[in-house]
Amino acid sequence: MLFAAKGITKRFGGLTAVKDVDFTLEGGIAAIIGPNGAGKTTLFNVFTGLYTPDGGEVKLDEHSLIGLRPDEITALGVCRTFQNIRLFKAMTAIENVLVGMHARVELGLWDVLARGPRFRAVEGEAWRTARTLLERVGLGRQLHTEARHLPYGDQRRLELARALASKPRLLLLDEPTAGMTGSEARQLMGLLRGFVADSGLGIVLIEHNMRVVMEVSDRVTVLDHGEKIAEGTPREVQTNARVIEAYLGRRGAHSAAP
């Protein structure tokens, strides 16, 4: 099992944001869906160490992630993007990606100050990798544009590249297509499939664009009010009555069932 979370519970004051949720991934692409405020992002924050859960266990390859700092979790191979895009806005695109590589750079203070051949080799390699990554997500021409000057869709792509730069085994994407046009979103999904095929990377995505979810994901987990209410293939989930009611609304259910 690549990634397994068991019995995750997270409370904020009196509110239980996530209640006893199990989630596993062996590979491929999984989607977590649910209405806004269902607890999806909270779950991501637990997975990446930003929140410590009130209960439950998170494991990557049998390594427990509970109690680790976010940077340690990233070093182990879990990286993410953010719902509201948290790029380093004053840094250029390529610098953003280079920061993403931080955990993989094996240089000490002395290497940096001395600028020896080792430094140049490692740094050169990092720049090449960063460039390749940016080219792959379609930002090859904007390497030296400051992140804040990029259009919304490009910022999403840059965030993806930055996350990929840490060579994750598991990539968590929070609404990767928000703010993209339909064709852009499709393109991105193709890209994600490509990454999965190339490197055996596991991807979990939170997504509202149902078209995207249905097209790209191998499995779908549905959350509502912090609880998992359904799980299965896209088709299974789409026809699940409870899902239709909770997520699409009762009227949606009426009109969706001809």
Kindly identify the residues of this chain, within the stretch 32-61, that bind another protein according to CB under 8 A. 35-38, 41, 45, 48, 50-51
> Which of the residues 167 through 186 are near another protein (CB under 8 A)?
175, 177-182
Give the angle 110-133-109 at the CA atoms, nearest 5°.
5
Alpha-carbon distance of 86 to 252, in angstroms, equals 33
* Number of alpha carbons in the 13 Å side-chain half-sphere of residue 257: 13
Q: Does 128 bind another protein (CB under 8 A)?
A: yes
Judged by CB, which is closer to another protein: 30, or 212? Answer: 212
Q: How far is the CB of 137 from another protein (least distance, A)?
A: 16
Judged by CB, which is closer to another protein: 1, or 90? Answer: 90
Judged by CB, which is closer to another protein: 56, or 234? Answer: 234
Q: Report the residue from 12, 55, 61, 239 that binds another protein according to the rule CB under 8 A.
A: 12
Alpha-carbon distance of 68 to 77, in angstroms, equals 13
Q: Which stretch binds another protein (CB under 8 A): 24-32, 52-60, 126-134, 197-205?
A: 126-134
Q: Does 257 bind another protein (CB under 8 A)?
A: no
* Number of alpha carbons in the 13 Å side-chain half-sphere of residue 132: 8
Alpha-carbon distance of 137 to 11, in angstroms, equals 37
Q: Does 231 bind another protein (CB under 8 A)?
A: no
Q: Does 117 bind another protein (CB under 8 A)?
A: no
Q: How far is the CB of 94 from another protein (least distance, A)?
A: 8
Contact 173, 166 (CB under 8 A): no
Judged by CB, which is closer to another protein: 1, or 235? Answer: 235
Alpha-carbon distance of 23 to 32, in angstroms, equals 10
- Cα–Cα distance list, 215 to 5, 31, 189, 203, 211 (Å): 25, 11, 8, 14, 6
Q: Does 101 bind another protein (CB under 8 A)?
A: yes
